[in-house]
Amino acid sequence: MSEQTGVSTHQIVERIWLSIAERRLRPGVQLKEGQLASIFSVSRARIRQALTLLERDGLVTIIPNRGAFVYKPTVDEAKDVFFIRRTVEHRIVERLCSHISKADTKRLRDHVALEREANAKDQTTDIIKLSGGFHLLLAEITGSDFLFTTMRDLIARSSLITAVYRNTSRFNCGPDEHIEIVKAISKGDTRKASDLMGHHLEHVESELDLTEIRDLSHDLKAALS
């Protein structure tokens, strides 16, 4: 098979992740190496690299002698992930309120502006990426590798959980609540920023229906198109 050098491992990871986040790939579906290699016109080795990265982010489970499967989060795990997110994000807010610079405040405002643009144009893929990206940017600005890597994992898992359990077709982790958090952080108002972040995460979690797992598509080719 002739491999398309233009399709990188990162691009494969992004396509699979977005197919899950956009509710086109269901938890539990098998990600067959041969089929994925054919879809992306790449070698099975490159597919294995991508699946390993997805496993690291908690989005894929690799079972020896059986293959790779989209991870299927339990209701208890969904609750645990959001509980941990609240704890970690409160710490991030505390850190930022004590030292954020004007330049970093501008980075956050610019990011929210991109979110508004994506929402206005109803660009689902960008909305999903930018929504999680806002929280990851907060962690990055703290300068803590530990907080950043922890949030990267939590956001990946949250995205999967949201894709599986949310009871609406739209993502509402949006710019209006984000900009209020930025304003409070820029003023160094730790209490208000923490309260806003807590309310924001409660809002996101309240849109989840933690009673059942949606029956999404088994068709890899259709889901990744």
Work out the average pLDDT over 31-40.
Answer: 94
Work out the average pLDDT over 95-124.
Answer: 94
CATH 1.20.120.530 residue spans of the chain: 75-206
**Which has the closest alpha carbon to 91: 223, 196, 217, 194?**
194
Query: Would you say residue 66 has pLDDT above 90?
Result: yes
Look at 152 and 213; give whichever has higher pLDDT. Answer: 152
Q: Each residue of 129-166: pLDDT tens digit?
A: 888 899 999 999 999 999 999 998 888 888 778 777 77
For residues 139 and 165, give the distance between their C-alpha atoms in angstroms, rounded to a whole number.
25
Query: Would you say residue 193 has pLDDT above 90?
Result: yes
The residues that bridge with 159 in the sheet, in sequence order, are none
pLDDT score recorded for residue 178: 96
CATH 1.10.10.10 residue spans of the chain: 9-72+214-223
**Fold type of domain 75-206:** Four Helix Bundle (Hemerythrin (Met), subunit A) (1.20.120)
pLDDT score recorded for residue 225: 66
Element counts in the chain: helices (H) and strands (E): 10, 3
Query: At 123, is the pLDDT very low, low, confident or very high (cuts 50, 70, 90)?
Result: confident
Query: At 86, is the pLDDT very low, low, confident or very high (cuts 50, 70, 90)?
Result: very high
Query: Would you say residue 103 has pLDDT above 90?
Result: yes
Query: Would you say residue 168 has pLDDT above 70?
Result: no
The residues that bridge with 69 in the sheet, in sequence order, are 30, 61
One CATH from 3.40.50.720, 3.40.50.300, 1.10.10.10, 3.40.50.1820 for 9-72+214-223:
1.10.10.10
Query: Would you say residue 21 has pLDDT above 80?
Result: no
Supply the pTM of this predicted model: 0.76
Mean pLDDT, the chain, as a whole number?
87
pLDDT score recorded for residue 1: 44
Work out the average pLDDT over 68-88.
Answer: 91
Contact assessment for residue 39 and residue 221, using Cβ atoms and an 8 Å cutoff: yes
Query: Would you say residue 65 has pLDDT above 80?
Result: yes
pLDDT score recorded for residue 127: 84
Work out the average pLDDT over 32-37.
Answer: 94
**Which has the closest alpha carbon to 78: 137, 161, 159, 200?**
161
Work out the average pLDDT over 73-90.
Answer: 92
pLDDT score recorded for residue 9: 94
The residues that bridge with 63 in the sheet, in sequence order, are 67
pLDDT score recorded for residue 169: 56
